[in-house]
Every structure is written in structure tokens, then in C-alpha cells.
Amino acid sequence: MTTPEQSTKVTVDQVACEGTAFCVRSLPDVFELNDDGVAEVNEAGARQAAFADLQDVENMCPTTAIRVANG
């Protein structure tokens, strides 16, 4: 059986991301900056994160680079 959290899909648009790192500082277990200074998703961390917290970070991203989808 799949819980809502386990089916959550989190992506970061690698073009739109400007490396403001709000996501990394808010949810360090889910997001990290790569060598180009762009955020990437730790999928294991994303599966553990609360959906509301992910949505909070999605809404906060100043470049709308993050997408959080359920299902």
C-alpha cells in the first residue's frame, strides 16, 4: 500500500532554479545544491517529508522552479 507521502513527486526545474537555496535551508533532507549551485531533490528524503512542508517550500521558491505533485 502506498501512502500519500510515498507517492509524492518533487522536481526542480534545472533551468529556472537560481540557487537561492531557500528549499535547501528549509528542508535540508530533501533538497541539496549541486556543483552548479542548482537545487536537486533527494528522493528518499522527499518520501519522508510531510506533504505540507513540501508545498510550503514549493510556494516559497522565488523562481517557481519546484513542483510538488501527489500521485
- Give the interface with another protein as residue ranges (CB under 8 A): 13-16, 18-22, 25-26, 37, 56, 59-60, 62-65, 67
Q: Which amino acid is it at 26?
A: S
Helices and strands, counts by H and E, the chain: 3, 4
Kindly state the smallest distance separating residue 13's Cβ from another protein, in Å: 5
DSSP-assigned letter for residue 23 = H
Residue with Cβ nearer another protein (5 or 38): 38
Residue with Cβ nearer another protein (23 or 46): 23
Residue 71 CA to residue 67 CA, distance in Å, equals 13
